[in-house]
Amino acid sequence: MARESESGLPVEPVYGPDALTDWDPAERLGEPGAYPFTRGVYPTMYTGRPWTVRQYAGFGTAAESNARYQRLIENGTTGLSVAFDLPTQMGYDSDAPLAHGEVGKVGVAIDSVEDMRVLFDGIPLDRVSTSMTINAPAALLLLMYRIVAEEQGVPAEKLTGTVQNDVLKEYIARGTYIFPPRPSLRLTADIFRYCRAEMPKWNTISISGYHMAEAGATPVQEVAFTLADGIAYVRTAVAAGMDVDDFAPRLSFFFVARTTLLEEVAKFRAARRIWARVMREEFGAKDPKSLMLRFHTQTAGVQLTAQQPEVNLVRVAVQGLAAVLGGTQSLHTNSFDEALALPTEKSARLALRTQQVLAHETDVTATVDPFAGSYAVERMTDDVEAAAVALMDRVEEMGGAVRAIERGFQKSEIEHSAYRIARETDSGERVVVGVNRYAIDVEEPYEPLRVDPAVEARQAERLARLRASRDGAAVTTALAALRRAAAGTDNVLPPMKTALEARATVGEVCDALRAVWGTHTPGEAP
C-alpha cells in the first residue's frame, strides 16, 4: 500500500522502469552543470570542493558574537551567517520602547556602523564569505558591511556573501516586515542596481522557502511559493529597466532540509529544473548563470524537539545528508539544543562537526548526483515538479505573488498544512520520536545559554555616547537627502550610505523611510 509524502504525493513501496515511462533522460536530467541543471549547477559539484560550511550565529552584543565567530572560524567554518536580534530586523534602535526585552535575544544587536565594526573586528572580510539574515533593513546592513570592509582595506568589488533581502516571504510566513510590499520591492530593485555597479560578487537576495517550511509549508508549497516570489523579484527588476542577465546570476535561494530524505532530494532537483525553465522561457535569459538555482540550506529547526534533545543530533545529520545529496551550495546544521535556547558553544561545535563528518568521512563527495537514474527519486522529482508548477499556476492566475499575498492565499495554504501536521502529531499518526512515541519519564537536566539582560542597558549607553559625539547636523542633512530619494525615483542606497557613514542609527534611517513609505499593517491591501 502506498504511503504519502510530506506533500501528500504517493510514495510507492516499489519503483521500477514503469515509473519512468516515456521519460527522456536528456530532457529531464541533462548533464551536471548544464540545462536544466537537475543534476546540479556545477559540472564537478563536490568532487572539486565541498559545499560552503556556513554556521548561523549571533547573540547579545557585537563583541560577544565576534568571539563566537572567531571560534567557529578556528574550528573550520568557511562562511559566516549572521543572526540579528528582533529590533534590528524591525528597524528599531536598542533604546526604542518597542525594543524593550528583545535586545540581543535571538541575534546580535546592531544599532550603527560602530557595532558592525566590533562584530567583524579581526575577521578578514576578503577571505570570509558572509551571509546576513536580514530583510526589511537589508540595505542598511549591507552598506554597513561595505563601510567596515573598506576600513579594513578590502574594496567593495572583492566582497563575497549574501544578504537575504527577501521581504515577500515576510508577509507570507515570518512577519518581520517594515514597509508595504510595493516600496519594499522598489528597495530590492535598488539593491540589485547598486550591487551590480558597486559589489559585483555579492549575492543580492536569498529567496527563502525556509521560513515558509518552518511555518508549516509542505515541500511542494515551499518550492512553489519561493519560486513565485523569485519571479516577482525578477519582474520588478526588469520593469525597473534592468537586463535580466545583469542581475539574475547573483540571485540565490534558501531552503529547508527535512528528515524525509528522499522527498527532500527530489524537491531540490525539481526546483532547479523549474527555475531554469522559467528563466529561459519567460525572461529570455541567455547567460547560463542566470538559469542556475543556487541555494543555501538549513536543517529543519521546526523538527527539533525539546524532549530528549540529544536525538536532534541524529535528525540534523539526516537532514544535512538530504541537503548534500540534493546538491546544496552551502549548509547550516542546527545545534541539538535550539528547541530549548540559543546554542551553547559546545552544541554549535557539534553541529559544525556534523558537516565535517559528511564532507570527509562519507563518500557523498566522491561522485556527482548519486541518485541520478533512481526509479524512486526520479519519479518523486517529476511528481514534486508537476505539483509545484500547478500551485505556481494558481498564484499566476491571481496576478502573481504580490496579488496572491494581498489575498492571503499563500498564508492560508501554509496554515492548512501546519494544522494537518499538528493534528497528525497529536493523534500519533505522525511519529515524533521522544514526543509521542519512545518518550521517557524524566528528562536529564540541561543548562541553556542565557543572554545577559544587561545587554539592553549597555546598548542604550553606546547609543547615547554615539549621538553625543557625532556631527548632528551632518546626520540631519544626510537623512533629509535619503527622504528626498525615497520620495522620488533615485536609488536610495547612496544617500543611505552617506547617512550611515555620518553614524546615523538603524532606527533613524528606517524612520526616515517610514516617514515617506509608511508601514505595512497585516490585513490591509498594500
User: What radius of gyration, in Å, describes the C-alpha atoms of the chain?
Assistant: 23
Strand partners for 130: 80, 161
Write out the chain's pLDDT in tens, 526 residues: 579 999 999 999 999 999 998 889 888 999 999 999 999 999 999 999 999 998 888 889 999 999 999 998 999 888 888 999 999 999 999 999 999 999 999 999 999 999 999 999 999 999 999 999 999 999 999 999 999 999 999 999 999 999 999 999 999 988 899 999 989 999 999 999 999 999 999 999 999 999 999 999 999 999 999 999 999 999 999 999 999 999 999 999 999 999 999 999 999 999 999 999 999 999 999 999 999 999 999 999 999 999 999 999 999 999 999 999 999 999 999 999 999 988 888 999 999 999 999 999 999 999 999 999 999 999 999 999 999 999 999 999 999 999 999 899 999 999 999 999 999 999 999 999 999 999 998 887 877 777 888 999 999 999 999 999 999 999 999 999 999 999 999 999 999 999 999 999 999 999 999 999 999 887 654 4
Residues 6+ apart with CB under 8 A from 207: 166, 169, 226, 227, 229, 230, 233, 251, 252, 253, 254
* pLDDT reported for residue 341: 87
Report how far residue 499's alpha carbon sits from residue 510's, in angstroms, rounded to the nearest whole number: 11
End-to-end Cα spacing for the chain: 47
Strand partners for 205: 251
- Dihedral class, residue 161 (left if φ above 0, else alpha if ψ from -120 to 50, else beta): left
* Residue carrying the nine cell digits 497585516: 522
Q: Give CA torsion, residues 106, 107, 112, 114, to 10 deg.
A: 140
* Residue carrying the nine cell digits 547609543: 463
Report how far residue 102's alpha carbon sits from residue 95's, in angstroms, rounded to the nearest whole number: 11
Pairing of strands 295-299, 251-257: parallel
Where exactly are the structural domains of the chain? 3-29+54-427
Produce one character per residue of 344-358: b if its CB has 16 or more CB atoms within 10 Å, e if not: beebbbbbbebbeeb
**CATH code, residues 3-29+54-427:** 3.20.20.240
Q: 435 exposed, middle or buried (CB, 10 Å; 0-12, 13-18, 19+)? A: middle
Report how far residue 388's alpha carbon sits from residue 422's, in angstroms, rounded to the nearest whole number: 23
**H helices, E strands: number in the chain:** 21, 11
* pLDDT reported for residue 524: 53
Report how far residue 409's alpha carbon sits from residue 484's, in angstroms, rounded to the nearest whole number: 35
HEC secondary structure over 4-36? ECCCCCEECCCCCHHHHCCCCHHHHCCCCCCCC
Q: Are 299 and 260 in contact (CB under 8 A)?
A: no
Produce one character per residue of 255-285: b if its CB has 16 or more CB atoms within 10 Å, e if not: bbbbbbbbbbbbbbbbbbbbbbbbbbeebeb
Q: 497 exposed, middle or buried (CB, 10 Å; 0-12, 13-18, 19+)? A: buried
* pLDDT reported for residue 22: 86
